[in-house]
Every structure is written in structure tokens, then in C-alpha cells.
């Protein structure tokens, strides 16, 4: 089920990205030859008007074939004057830039809609955050679990709600995170922990240990009091836009921080997840509930938007860089050169993705 859900999410993210390119190209009067979800071989396809629509077998991607995007529309006598006028390269550079950036806008708009739906349904929020006065049904919640800690060995996960803690002499049923941490730190012996996960109520035994928190015993979790925030339709759209902007800023700052560390040779590649790692996170989000799954999908969509703007060949950002160079120099970069560079960039991206996927698989064993 997790794999199927991951493929559906991936397909949706690729679809909205390519749909952005497709719509902007059509609106600009550019001929679109193909719209495909996934990479060949083709499973099913149909031509409608001038555009071939395909569903392909390999789900990790998709593409829109825009006539003349690589500068090939004006070559050869087989192309009519009318088609030459409808080619990508025949349009002003600002139109080309809009078409190239529209995929990124598609991912951002998709994230905004998902987050807005989350606010309408009820989105998790800390009682001390921006929405402190709007939080309903607060619960003591695990926000992270330290690897190889007593909590991790007991099977606790991020998002689990602690309903009760008890040791041989005491019982704790409050929702305050500081009080819960104090209860754990002075416990003597094993703790019985009752917790909620999705619609289930579970129970486990945990022995707090020293060495995690200086001078105290702990079980290896971060705790916060988290409830649900929900708004009406228009307020949800507004708050969704604010949260989308915040996520965009945080992801951009984080990505450029990582790139800076990579240049300095200090980057931690273990923090990067490929398709296998993301599929695992999708499974965890599914267990926590639909709203968590929507929020996670929105987060991935924003990540894809920011990554696609990087000035790397084969990505939208790389093509925008070529366009900027052409505008600055007032000279057209040869189509053959851009094709070679973009193909090379694509091969490197695939190689990097395979490397990250291999690391994800190794982590499973």
C-alpha cells in the first residue's frame, strides 16, 4: 500500500509540474507535441489535436515536449512558417522564461492548495506557535525519536500521542511537555507508556537510561504539546499561503546552506533521501493520518520547486540560466551545445539519484 501511495504522490507532483509548463505554453500560443507522465516505455497513449498524451511505465518523472524548445523548430524546410512562429524559440525571451518557470509555480500552487485543505480539515500545530489561540484538542506528542534509544527500540515514532505515563508509584496524564520530561527524568524503574497512533491506542514498556540528557535519565524523545487548528474556506486559503511562503523560505535557506557545506566538503549526504527513503516517510505519514500525508506531500512539492530552480543543466533553473546568458549577451546559444549540456546534466542527475537510492536501500539492512 505504501509503494502504491508513494507512486500516486510522485505522479501527482510530476503532473502538476508538467501541467504548469503545458498550460503556459498553450496560453503563449506555442505548439505542444507531447505531454507524458513517467518515462518510456509507453503503457497507453492518445493524440488529441496536435498533442500526444502518454502514460509511461517508469513512474519517476514525466515531461512536456514543447515544439522548438531545443532550437530545432527553425531547422529544415519541412517546418511551415506558421509552425516556426509557434515555436518556443520564436517567442520573446520573457515568454520563454515564464514557460520554463511555470512548472515550479505549479508545484508551489499545488503545495498551497494541499496546505489550505489541511487547514480546512484541521492541521497539527503547537500550542505555543503562531496559532496558539486557535489550537483545539491539545495532546502531548512525540516530535522526534533518537535512533537506537529506548523509545526507538520500543517502536515509538514521531507523531505518536502520549496518553499516559506511569511507574510503580506514579501516574501522569497531563499534556504539558515540560512536566512530562520532568516525570521521566525522575522515574525509578521501567515506565508503562500508553500512546495513540492514528486511530489505535497502544502500550509499551520503556526503561529510561542515562547518557542521553546530562545528569538525568531519558527515553530519547522530543516532546511538544500539539493540537489541531482549523479555519473556514477563505481564512484557510490565506493561512495556507502564509505557511507555503514560510516553507519556501526555510527550504531555500536549508538547500543553499547544504550546497555551501557541499562546496566546503562538509555536507552530510546521509541527510538526503531518495525515492526509497521518501517512500518510507510516506508510509509513516499515512499511519499518522490524511492531514499529515497532505502536509508531507506539500513539503515535497515545495522541495521539488526549489530544486528545479537550481542553475543545473536539465533542470528548469539551468535552462533559465541559459536564457539569461542569451539576454545579457544578446546572442543565441547554439542548440547543439544546449542539447549536449542538458543531456550531460540529465545523466549526472540520474546517476546521483541512483547513488542516493542505493544508500537508502543499504540503510534498510
Given its phi and psi angles, is residue 78 left (phi above 0), alpha (psi -120 to 50 degrees) or beta? alpha
**What length does the chain have?**
365
Predicted confidence (pLDDT) per residue in 263-322, tens digit:
777 767 666 777 777 878 888 788 778 888 999 999 999 999 999 999 888 899 999 999
Global confidence as pTM: 0.83
Residues near 315 by beta carbon (within 8 Å), at least 6 away in sequence: 307, 308, 309, 345, 349
Angle at 158 between CA 6 and CA 289, to 5 degrees: 50
Predicted confidence (pLDDT) per residue in 310-360, tens digit:
988 889 999 999 999 988 998 888 888 888 888 888 888 888 777 777 777
Q: Which of 71, 66, 75 is nearest to 99 (CA)?
A: 66
| Catalytic residue, candidates 18, 174, 182, 200 | 18
**How many Cα atoms sit within 13 Å of 328 on the Cβ side?**
6
| pLDDT at residue 110 tops 90 | yes
Quote the crossing angle between the two packed helices 316-329 and 335-363, to the nearest 10°. Answer: 150
- Is 239 an active-site residue? no
Q: Is the distance from CB of 217 to CB of 130 less than 8 angstroms?
A: no
Question: What CATH number does the domain located at 132-229 have?
Answer: 2.30.42.10
CA distance 105 to 263: 28
CB-count burial class (<10 Å; 0-12, 13-18, 19+) for 102:
buried
Q: Where are the domains of the chain?
A: 2-120+279-363, 132-229
CA distance 287 to 281: 10
Amino acid at each position: 500500500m505504501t509503494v502504491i501511495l508513494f507512486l500516486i504522490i510522485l505522479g501527482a507532483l510530476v503532473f502538476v509540474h508538467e501541467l504548469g509548463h503545458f498550460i503556459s505554453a498553450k496560453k503563449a500560443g506555442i505548439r505542444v507535441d507531447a505531454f507524458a507522465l513517467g518515462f518510456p516505455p509507453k503503457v497507453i497513449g492518445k493524440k488529441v489535436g496536435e498533442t500526444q498524451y502518454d502514460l509511461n511505465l517508469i513512474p519517476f518523472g514525466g515531461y512536456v515536449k514543447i515544439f522548438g524548445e531545443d532550437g530545432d523548430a527553425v531547422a529544415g524546410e519541412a517546418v511551415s512558417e506558421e509552425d516556426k512562429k509557434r515555436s518556443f524559440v520564436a517567442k520573446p525571451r520573457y515568454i520563454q522564461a515564464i514557460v520554463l518557470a511555470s512548472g515550479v509555480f505549479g508545484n508551489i500552487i499545488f503545495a498551497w492548495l494541499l496546505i489550505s485543505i489541511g487547514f480546512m480539515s484541521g492541521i497539527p500545530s503547537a500550542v505555543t506557535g503562531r496559532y496558539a489561540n486557535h489550537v483545539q484538542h491539545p495532546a502531548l506528542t512525540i516530535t522526534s525519536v533518537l535512533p537506537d534509544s529506548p523509545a526507538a527500540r520500543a517502536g515509538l515514532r514521531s507523531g505518536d500521542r502520549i496518553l499516559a505515563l506511569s511507574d510503580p508509584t506514579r501516574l501522569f496524564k497531563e499534556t504539558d511537555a515540560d512536566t512530562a520530561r520532568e516525570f521521566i527524568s525522575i522515574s525509578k524503574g521501567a515506565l508503562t507508556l500508553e500512546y495513540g497512533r492514528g486511530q489505535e491506542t497502544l502500550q509499551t514498556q520503556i526503561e529510561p537510561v542515562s547518557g542521553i540528557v546530562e545528569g538525568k535519565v531519558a527515553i530519547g524523545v522530543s516532546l511538544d504539546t500539539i493540537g489541531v487548528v482549523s479555519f473556514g474556506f477563505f481564512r484557510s486559503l490565506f493561512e495556507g499561503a502564509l505557511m507555503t511562503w514560510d516553507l519556501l523560505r526555510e527550504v531555500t535557506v536549508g538547500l543553499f546552506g547544504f550546497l555551501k557545506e557541499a562546496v566546503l566538503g562538509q555536507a552530510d549526504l546521509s541527510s538526503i533521501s531518495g525515492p526509497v527513503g521518501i517512500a518510507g516517510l510516506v508510509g509513516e505519514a499515512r499511519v499518522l493520518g490524511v492531514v499529515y500525508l497532505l502536509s508531507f506531500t506539500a513539503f515535497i512539492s515545495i522541495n521539488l520547486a526549489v530544486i528545479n530552480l537550481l542553475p543545473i543543466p536539465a533542470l528548469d533553473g539551468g535552462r533559465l540560466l541559459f536564457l539569461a546568458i542569451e539576454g545579457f549577451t544578446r546572442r543565441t546559444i547554439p542548440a547543439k551545445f544546449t542539447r549536449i549540456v542538458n543531456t550531460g546534466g540529465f545523466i549526472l542527475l540520474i546517476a546521483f539519484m541512483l547513488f542516493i537510492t542505493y544508500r537508502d536501500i543499504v540503510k534498510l539492512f
